[in-house]
Structure 1
């Protein structure tokens, strides 16, 4: 069964918008900072839902979920994700975490090993190294100071792979900036604050489920070396390399979908 994104009515999830689509084995989606389920997974949603019951929630200040009045807490996000799976009748499920969604997915798997069947971690990290923290700090300051047009330019610079960015003319980049700036999610500053604070390195050694780490090899935001560091510390990880910047759903959606789908079909 396919349904449009809906806001849950369950009391524990009253503030979080939920998306549920497709049928089959459960697949929980966890989106990135400044994104959302539709923004980060929309281009591959139909392909994922063809073989899975796909469930995702928008973090506070993304999609239809109101902005939080308090700093985001990874364990609270995990609680909402599990409650969304419960509300959709999923006993066990795979978890796909993109960017900030990666460490959230890792914490979910560490806290609920009986529920998680496998992990897919794309363009992500277990903690922010100095380079990532610096990039996130600039991102956060531009957002919180209201410089959203400059932030959109920064996002293009830090998210697109070099080849893709250089294939665009300055006018095309400016057009993209003008489209991005007005729709930057209201929770972006909170999301990026969590990027800077989250650290799930201590959770990695205890994870026993099959895991795929998709390394985005042309990523200017989350360096491939930081992504490989995560994979090396995850005992069950297999690694796939995708020649894209930080936005596989924009640059190489079908290849990203194929990597995820093939791994889930085997696990």
Structure 2
């Protein structure tokens, strides 16, 4: 932990230092439970940002495991020539569960955490008690995504050497979405968002654009699933979120909210997520 880090605005489960089977050292926030919830965060965020208001209620009711993905926040760092890989993040999560001695989890993936959660379920199906996906999709290939793919490919060579280019994208997003709730925690939020290297920010979004789980849906058929749809989402089209739910035969919970609901309107977000977790645990 950095000595100059700004204190988290709310009390979260403690960090644990873990050494994975391959020698990788990671930090994870954990709380015990019979079937804990594995929280997988979104693009350019940290687990603390994405699940600031959710983590403690989930920990108290079910137990929790949360870590920053490779290249994000306090997660394992990516070497200069190493690209972000969604499947590797899924295997990282499984290795963390191994280190903790956790057999099964409810997977809860938000945005980027959706693809990682889908890969986790495909690669480690026996460890999944249920799936909760939020503000995410099976693939990211709508018209805006196709233009975005071109733009980020152009941006990548510059992001490699820039201190600010790319890193400013999540900051600008939350500035635009800056509700009163977000404004109250802005110094801490900014300190979390700038931890991700610009190159990683660009590589992660390119990995998302390349992701397509549609050929593999049958591999996770039958797992209990719920999808929380953010109906005013400007980042992941609601129709793509609903398509994910339809393919998984998932229960749908709709929120009249945007992609930043986890910070701008945390009460409805937390309630919807806890309801979704309960639904999949009931089967």
| Length-normalised TM-score, structure 1 | 0.83
Task: Give the drift of 1:199.
Answer: 1.4
Distance in 2 (alpha carbons) for counterparts of 1:104 and 1:252: 25
Counterpart among 97, 102, 119 of residue 131 in structure 2: 119
Q: What does residue range 94-109 of structure 1 map to in structure 2 within 5 Å?
A: 94-109=106-121
Deviations 1:195-231 (A, max 9, x none): 1222111222332111111111111111111111212
- Tell me if 1:60 matches 2:70: yes
Contact conserved, 1:56 with 1:84, CA < 8 A, in 2? no
Distance in 1 (alpha carbons) for counterparts of 2:234 and 2:206: 19
Task: Give the drift of 1:74.
Answer: 2.2
- Tell me if 1:202 matches 2:212: no
**Structure 1 residues 177, 57: CA separation in 2 closer, same or farther (over 3 Å shift)?**
closer
Contact conserved, 2:217 with 2:247, CA < 8 A, in 1? yes
Contact conserved, 1:152 with 1:180, CA < 8 A, in 2? no
| Helix, strand or coil at the partner of 2:207 | helix
Q: What does residue range 1-267 of structure 1 map to in structure 2 within 5 Å?
A: 3-12=13-22, 14-69=24-79, 70-129=82-141, 130-135=143-148, 138=151, 141=155, 144=159, 146-147=164-165, 151-152=169-170, 154-156=172-174, 160=177, 180=190, 183-186=194-197, 187-207=200-220, 208-234=222-248, 236-266=249-279, 267=281
Unaligned runs of 5+ in 1: none
**Structure 1 residues 89, 191: CA separation in 2 closer, same or farther (over 3 Å shift)?**
same
Contact conserved, 1:213 with 1:238, CA < 8 A, in 2? yes
Aligned residues: 255
| Length-normalised TM-score, structure 2 | 0.79
